[in-house]
Amino acid sequence: AQSVTQPDIHITVSEGASLELRCNYSYGATPYLFWYVQSPGQGLQLLLKYFSGDTLVQGIKGFEAEFKRSQSSFNLRKPSVHWSDAAEYFCAVPNSAQGAQKLVFGQGTRLTINP
């Protein structure tokens, strides 16, 4: 079955520092991959997506992610974080075994920014 693992439940970084959030997936073929962000009290917002082609994808808010098939990973990066990036981040992969365009989400990584 498809699954997504986000190994880090909580990460703290200083404002201006670089960021990498990890995501590992289990999937039978080349997957579609997604990162979502959830600010406190808000719904989830799509940050970026990978469907095919260039393995480095750019998203909104200055984020990027790199698909590495050999490592089954899709890590999210940002070169310099801002206080407004404090949020929870979710990685997701299609649950294609059951159709209906369903996604499987990781447990999330909560990002705290130190001033």
Partner 1 sequence: DAGITQSPRHKVTETGTPVTLRCHQTENHRYMYWYRQDPGHGLRLIHYSYGVKDTDKGEVSDGYSVSRSKTEDFLLTLESATSSQTSVYFCAISSATYEQYFGPGTRLTVT
Helix (H/G/I), strand (E/B), else coil: 71 = helix
- Is the Cβ of residue 45 or residue 80 nearer to partner 1 in the bound state? 45
Over the window 80 to 109, marking each residue x when it contacts partner 1 by CB under 8 A and - when it does not, the resulting string is: ----------x-x-x----xxxxx-xxxx-
- Is the Cβ of residue 15 or residue 72 nearer to partner 1 in the bound state? 72
Look at the alpha carbons of 69, 75, 47, 42 in this order and tell me if their dihedral is positive or negative: positive
Q: Which of 27, 34, 63, 74 binds partner 1 (CB under 8 A)?
A: 34
Segment lying near partner 1 (by CB under 8 A), choices 22-30, 44-52, 58-66, 73-81: 44-52
Q: How many CB atoms lie within 10 A of CB 60?
A: 10
d(CA 110, CA 67): 21
Q: How many residues does the chain have?
A: 115
Largest CA distance in the chain: 44
Q: Which residues bind partner 1 (CB under 8 A)?
A: 32, 34, 36, 41-46, 49, 51, 90, 92, 94, 99-103, 105-108
